[in-house]
Amino acid sequence: PETANRVNKAQFECQTLLRAKQYKSCEVLALFSLSKIEAQASKQQQASSQEWSENIEILRASLEEILGDCAEGQGRYQRAIECFRQAAVRRHMRATGSNGSTPTRCNEGPSNKALKKQPKVHVADGSEDVEMTLVDVTDSFEDSQDQRRENVQPVNEYRHRYNTRQRKKKQADGIMEDNQNTNSMDQQHQKSDPKMKKHQKKVRKQPNKPTEDHAKAIDTSIDFAPLSIAEANLSVKESRCHAKLGNFLEATSSLEKIGNEFKLFETYMEMGKLYTLVGRRTNAARAYVEALRKMPYCIEALEALATTGCKEVDVMEAIEQGIRARSGAYQYVFPESETNAGSQSDLLVPVKELVKAHFSARRYDQATALEYFKSLQSEFPNNPHLLLNIANTQCKLGDFSTAEATFQSVRRLDIHTIDYMDRYAFILHKRMDKNKLNSLSNDLLKTSDRRPETWVCLAFLSDLYGSKEKSLMYLDKALSIDSRHSFAHRIKGIFHISENRPEYAVMSFFRANEISKDLESYEGLVEAYLASEKYKEAVVTAKNVISAAPNNARALALLGITLSRSSSREAQKRAKRALTKALALDSTDLRSLLALVNLHLKDEECDSCVELLSRGMESLRTNDQDLPLLHTKLGNVYTMKEDYENALKHYHSAISLNPHDSDAHQGLEELEKLMRSLNGDTSVIAQVDNSADF
């Protein structure tokens, strides 16, 4: 009791130090406590009882877990893995009634003695709560496995390889006993080798009681399934350390061996993140759905499911189950409160509307998604999360001026916001606003330099100052922080296109599209394919977008632009049909308009071009950002028609709206040269110059 009280006090102080992130002090305190336990164990080695030995193992396991937390906090992840593993082995040995140095393996199961020691838990069985042991719970799960096969994840092949590798290693060292799966040559070798026989005999004769070097005798390499929440928690910690080291195979294996009855909300979230990193989207979707069943307010799981291909109805069903479960918990924790499970008024977050909004965006129906977000914003005003989603959706719709105003509203509410600030930087870069972009970059650097958005913003700023190589370096820095930041991949592809490196652009856009299948990534990938003269790949990619969003204006425009690059007359006719349909769906789509105008110019259909551009200027008359481009294009068309007076007017209009429009200046100079070369009469030029409104 004296030793236990001392260790309990030490654990209490260690937790205080851990919360304060004083890892060195915590580690020293835990090591002193472990030394005290070892000294006490060596004194009472002969007279110690079985119960005392088991209690000592639990104390050791608790302190080793604390040492693992300290090592993880200091970034010594390999050391943390070893500590967590030792703590898990000690807890597992106590649960199975084993005192030896080797824990029970996954396929062996606990002994009968351990079954009697299992604590009682309450398991919902229909309308009653049935008192069962943990092993009874496991058996009931195995008995009903066929009925609920869809909820049980199959044993992963990577886990099987890992177990096989560990088994062969132990067979080679002579520690594991012969079993029926060992091949005949290994059996003969083990039987004929006297040294191995002697070593195995020595291992069998090791005492069950704890010794001074008992911690070193623990075999932590054998895989086993956790038998308690405490063991499962240690497996989660071990998995996080493996992930920090980049060992995603071992990280997933640590989580997959946890039984469903011991998987908590955080377990499923870790599994979802790991499965996403290794590209197992189906498994990730299953894990996130299970997470929502336990915590329906997890926005990270909801947003991740919108990109994994999961069905919206499955997400809604999981949220309904989660809401009912949380309502039951509220009645237990807050018995005096009245809750109506599943009612809209009882929800703390409007998760159902958020699901509809995010899944509408995934179907490329940005207009519907924007309606959902704006409806929520009217109910929850001045909400930065909703405003950020509104601004991001406005960017995807191409309404950059409104999106800029929304981003500014967010920064007035919270100047330290980082989410989606790289999209805001994209708008400022598009407007070539160095002052605002410089101010935004400074604010983001002060807030955090460990977020990819900060470095993407710096990349835009460097590009405005003409340093493209430095911009690419900043983008690489952003991707080193988060390799799955799709926007950074897309911007990197755009910069490669501008530097005439389409092969590199293809890789960047492909990676961005692999992470997040949005229209912007598809458009960049098609453009990169066309720049690389890979016409077939571009057409296939554009058709894939049409399959996913058949009535989307931008998808139709993408197909039309791709087909317009073909020299085939049939392909160009199909391109005209696609672009005309795209403009019918969205008259403000500038890319469709310009592509269709270029097709008509090839056929010298100047009247059709004038009509299209005039309609386009009417629909874009409030957006001064694109009007100079349309005026310049209309000036080019009038030049082809030899209507020089109207051509001069539109060139001057473009320059008055944007004095830095190089295309308008070039078109005006060429037109003046052409008119002088024809008859040397400059009266028309002077007349237009005098009447131009600057």
Give 571-589 as a DSSP string: HHHHHHHHHHHHHHH-TT-
Give pLDDT, residue 127: 35
Identify the DSSP state of 199.
H
Q: Does pLDDT of 272 surpass 50?
A: yes
pLDDT band for 493, please (50, 70, 90 cuts): very high
Name the token pair of 137: 């719970």
pLDDT band for 679, please (50, 70, 90 cuts): low
* 599 touches 580 (CB < 8 A): no
Q: 236 burial class (0-12, 13-18, 19+ CB within 10 angstroms)?
A: buried
* 74 touches 23 (CB < 8 A): yes
Residue 202: other Cβ atoms inside 10 A: 9
Give pLDDT, residue 203: 41
CA gap 92, 226 in Å, rounded: 7
Q: Does pLDDT of 119 surpass 90?
A: no
pLDDT band for 482, please (50, 70, 90 cuts): very high
**Of 602, 605, 604, 659, nearest to 632 (Cα)?**
659
- Determine if residue 420 is left, alpha or beta; phi over 0 gives left, psi from -120 to 50 gives alpha, anything else beta: left
User: Which residues sit opposite 123 in a β-bridge?
Assistant: 130
CA gap 561, 572 in Å, rounded: 9
**Of 299, 302, 235, 306, nearest to 271 (Cα)?**
235
Identify the DSSP state of 552.
-
Q: Rounded mean pLDDT of the chain?
A: 79
- With tokens 């009681």, the residue in question is 209
Q: Does pLDDT of 1 surpass 80?
A: no
Name the token pair of 127: 């309308």
- Determine if residue 398 is left, alpha or beta; phi over 0 gives left, psi from -120 to 50 gives alpha, anything else beta: left
Backbone angles phi, psi at 340, to 5 degrees: -115, 100
* 30 touches 66 (CB < 8 A): yes
CA gap 439, 188 in Å, rounded: 75
* 544 touches 560 (CB < 8 A): no
- Predicted confidence (pLDDT) per residue in 521-547, tens digit: 999 999 999 999 999 999 999 999 998
Name the token pair of 531: 């720049």
- With tokens 């028309």, the residue in question is 684
For 466-492, letters b (16+ CB in 10 Å) and e give: eeeeebbebbebbbebeebbbbbbbbb
Name the token pair of 678: 């024809």
Backbone angles phi, psi at 432, to 5 degrees: 60, 40
Considering the segment(s) 620-694 as one domain, its CATH architecture is Alpha Horseshoe (1.25)
Residue 220: other Cβ atoms inside 10 A: 16
- Predicted confidence (pLDDT) per residue in 279-302, tens digit: 899 999 999 999 999 999 999 999
Kindly state the average pLDDT of the residues 543-555. Answer: 87
**Of 564, 499, 472, 486, nearest to 526 (Cα)?**
564
Residues 6+ away with beta carbon under 8 Å from 600: 606, 608, 609, 612
- Indicate if the alpha-carbon torsion angle 71, 76, 77, 78 is positive or negative: negative
Q: 188 burial class (0-12, 13-18, 19+ CB within 10 angstroms)?
A: exposed
CA gap 81, 597 in Å, rounded: 63
Q: Does pLDDT of 216 surpass 60?
A: no
- Dihedral in degrees, nearest 10, Cα atoms 544, 548, 552, 553: -10
User: Which residues sit opposite 130 in a β-bridge?
Assistant: 123
CA gap 442, 456 in Å, rounded: 13
CA gap 169, 194 in Å, rounded: 19
* 517 touches 489 (CB < 8 A): no
Task: Say yes or no: do domains 2-96 and 620-694 share a fold.
Answer: yes
Q: Does pLDDT of 690 surpass 70?
A: no
* 376 touches 354 (CB < 8 A): yes
**Of 430, 453, 475, nearest to 590 (Cα)?**
430
Query: What 3-state class would DSSP assign to 648?
Result: helix
User: Which residues sit opposite 125 in a β-bridge?
Assistant: 128
Residues 6+ away with beta carbon under 8 Å from 584: none
Q: 277 burial class (0-12, 13-18, 19+ CB within 10 angstroms)?
A: middle
Q: Which fold has domain 2-96?
A: 1.25.40
What stretches of 44-76 show up as alpha helix (H) in DSSP?
50-73
Kindly state the average pLDDT of the residues 391-405. Answer: 92
Give pLDDT, residue 251: 93
Name the token pair of 645: 């007076």
Domain residue spans of the chain: 2-96, 620-694
CA gap 361, 359 in Å, rounded: 5
Among the residue ranges 57-71, 471-485, 614-628, the one predicted with the least confidence is: 614-628
Kindly report whether the global pTM for this prediction surpasses the value 0.95. no
Query: What 3-state class would DSSP assign to 122?
Result: strand
- Dihedral in degrees, nearest 10, Cα atoms 213, 215, 221, 222: 100
Give pLDDT, residue 354: 95
H/E stretch holding 673 reads helix 662-679
- Predicted confidence (pLDDT) per residue in 348-388, tens digit: 889 999 999 999 999 889 999 999 999 999 999 999 999 99
Q: HSE on the CB side for 601, CA within 13 Å?
A: 19
| pLDDT above 70: percentage of residues in the chain | 75
H/E stretch holding 128 reads strand 128-133
* 60 touches 213 (CB < 8 A): no
**Of 449, 444, 474, nearest to 460 (Cα)?**
474
CA gap 211, 446 in Å, rounded: 54
Residue 276: other Cβ atoms inside 10 A: 20
- Dihedral in degrees, nearest 10, Cα atoms 296, 301, 304, 305: -40
Please state the separation of Cα 415 from the chain's center in Å.
24
Give pLDDT, residue 48: 56
Please state the separation of Cα 459 from the chain's center in Å.
22
